[in-house]
Chain A
Amino acid sequence: MTGQSGTRQVALFVTCLVDIMRPRIGFAAIRALEAAGCDVIVPQGQTCCGQPALNSGDRDHAVALAKQTIEALEPYEAIIVPSGSCAGTIRCHYPELFEHDASWLPRAQAVAAKTFEVMAYLDEVCGWKPDGVTLPATATYHDSCSGLRELGIKAQPRRLLDAIDGLSLTPLPGAETCCGFGGTFCVKYPAISNAIVGEKAAAIDATGADLLLAGDLGCLMNMAGKLHRDGSKVRAFHAIELIAGMGDGPAIGEES
Chain B
Amino acid sequence: MSSFTTRADAALADPILKIAVERTAGTAQAKRAIAIDAFPDFEAARTRAAAIKDHVIAHLGPYLEQFEASAIAAGAQVHWAQTADEACRIVIAICKAANAKTVARSKSMLGEEIGLPHALEEAGIGRVETDLAEHIIQLADERPSHIIWPAMHKTSEQVSALFKAKHRTPHQEETIAAMAQSARRELRGAMLGADVGISGANFLIADSGAVCTVTNEGNAELSLVPPRVHIVTAGIEKIVPSMPHAIHMLRMLARSATGAALTQYTTFYTGPKRPGDRDGPEEMHIVLVDNGRTKMREEGLAEMLRCIRCGACMNHCVVFRQIGGHAYGGTYPGPMGAVLTPTLDGLAATRDLAHACTLNGMCQQVCPVKIPLPTLLKGWREKSWREGLEPVSMRAGLGLWAWVATRPALYRLGTAIAIRAIRLLGRKGWIASLPLAGGWTQYRDLPKPAAQTFMNQYKQEQRK
Chain A residues within CB distance 8 Å of chain B: 14, 16, 18-24, 26-27, 42, 44-48, 50, 52-59, 61, 64-65, 68, 145-146, 149-150, 176-178, 180-198, 221-222, 224-226, 228-229, 250, 252-255
Contact = CB atoms under 8 A, between A and B. Distances in A.
A255 B428 contact: yes
Interface stretch (B90-98, B107-115, B318-326): B318-326
A149 B384 CA distance: 26
Interface of B: 5, 8-9, 12, 318-319, 322-323, 355-362, 364-365, 378, 380-386, 390, 394-395, 398-399, 401-402, 405-406, 408, 411, 415, 418-419, 428-430, 437-440, 442-450, 452-455, 457-458
Given A191-B9, A229-B445, A58 B402 contact: yes
A178 B322 CA distance: 12
Given A47-B411, A182-B357, A192-B319, A26 B443 contact: no
Given A178-B360, A196-B318, A188 B439 contact: yes
A22 B447 contact: yes
Give 6 nearest A-B pairs by CB, closest first: A182-B358, A57-B381, A187-B439, A225-B444, A57-B385, A23-B454
Given A18-B454, A20-B418, A23-B450, 7 more contacts: A26-B454, A52-B398, A57-B384, A59-B385, A149-B361, A149-B365, A225-B440
A133 to B, nearest CB: 22
B380 to A, nearest CB: 8
Nearest to B358: A182
30 contacts: A14-B454, A20-B419, A20-B450, A20-B453, A26-B458, A45-B408, A47-B406, A48-B405, A50-B405, A55-B359, A56-B390, A57-B382, A58-B385, A58-B398, A59-B386, A61-B406, A64-B406, A68-B406, A145-B359, A145-B362, A146-B359, A178-B358, A185-B356, A186-B440, A189-B8, A190-B438, A190-B440, A193-B358, A226-B443, A253-B448
Contacts of A186: 439-440
A55 B357 CA distance: 10
Q: Which of A44, A198, A253 has the most CB of B within 10 A?
A: A253
B7 to A, nearest CB: 11
Residues of B contacting A: mostly: helix
A46 B415 CA distance: 13
Contacts, number: 198
A40 B234 CA distance: 60
Given A22-B450, A225-B440, A181 B445 contact: no
Nearest to A14: B454
Nearest to A200: B318
A178 B360 CA distance: 6
A181 B358 contact: yes
A46 B408 contact: yes
A255 B429 contact: yes
